[in-house]
Amino acid sequence: MKKFKNKKLSHSSKLWITRQNNDPLVELAKKQNYRSRAVFKLIEIDKKLKLIKNNLNIVDLGSAPGSWSQYSSKINKNGINLALDILPMKSISNCKFLNGDFTNEITQFELMKILNGGKADLVLSDIAENSTGNKNLDSMRSNLISLTVLEFALKNLKKNGKILIKTFSGVGQQDLVQKVKTSFQKHLFIKPSASRKDSKELYLYCEL
Ligand SMILES: C[S@@+](CC[C@H](N)C(=O)[O-])C[C@H]1O[C@@H](n2cnc3c(N)ncnc32)[C@H](O)[C@@H]1O
């Protein structure tokens, strides 16, 4: 294993870089011109659920650096691909990008304005809060955002619309399940193999 040595960096940063340098999916993503290994999670889920198709209105929340949008914009050639992140994102052909904080209601309003009053067929959310180092707190904060995403989807999805959303096992996940059970016809949790084993992340898929 290639270890990363740099005295100025914190222990956790060094661990992160060492892991990235030794991860075959990071290498594969580079070879296939994807901006992140995260794309393999979406590809795996898409193979199973056939979510991404042409002629859809797709909203990708927490999109940066952009691999999910790269993948979906290639398939959804004639539909609308709309991406949002609190961080800037390099442009992607056939994809509109809004730079903003999803938790801000004005940003959510701006986002839907771009769909010209239309609704979404599919909402993807890979939003993750920066880690605080406290796993319970991290799960709680991220699941709280996921709850906001669910509420947003309930207002802005078309009939039969779908949502794929990142959640974390632990604090707050039960609140999500409760919301989903009362509002969606069908739901299931998926842990794609590209998701790291030591990560608490789990994707929640729901159909209206
Ligand atoms: C795991 S990354 C997403 C990776 C992305 N799916 C890809 O394929 O490149 C999570 C993203 O969520 C974004 N994020 C976190 N909080 C956010 C918020 N409140 N509003 C919008 N984006 C947010 C982060 O900036 C980060 O880019």
Measured between alpha carbons, how far is residue 64 from residues 49, 118, 176 in Å? Answer: 23, 24, 24
Domain interval for residue 17: 1-31
Which member of 90, 155, 159, 166 is catalytic?
166
Model confidence pLDDT, tens digit, residues 121-130: 999 999 988 8
Q: State whether 22 and 56 are in the same domain.
A: no
Model confidence pLDDT, tens digit, residues 54-108: 999 999 999 999 999 999 999 999 999 999 999 999 999 999 999 999 999 999 9
Q: Model pTM?
A: 0.91
43 and 34 Cβ atoms separated by less than 8 Å: no
Q: State whether 18 and 80 are in the same domain.
A: no
Q: Whose CA is nearest to atom 5 of ligand 1?
A: 63
Respond yes or no: is residue 166 known to be catalytic: yes
Q: State whether 53 and 123 are in the same domain.
A: yes
- Checking if the pLDDT of 19 tops 80, the result is no
Q: How many domains does the chain have?
A: 2
Answer yes or no: is the C-beta of 67 below 6 A from any ligand 1 atom: yes
Q: State whether 150 and 187 are in the same domain.
A: yes
- Read off the CATH number of the domain in which 63 is found: 3.40.50.150
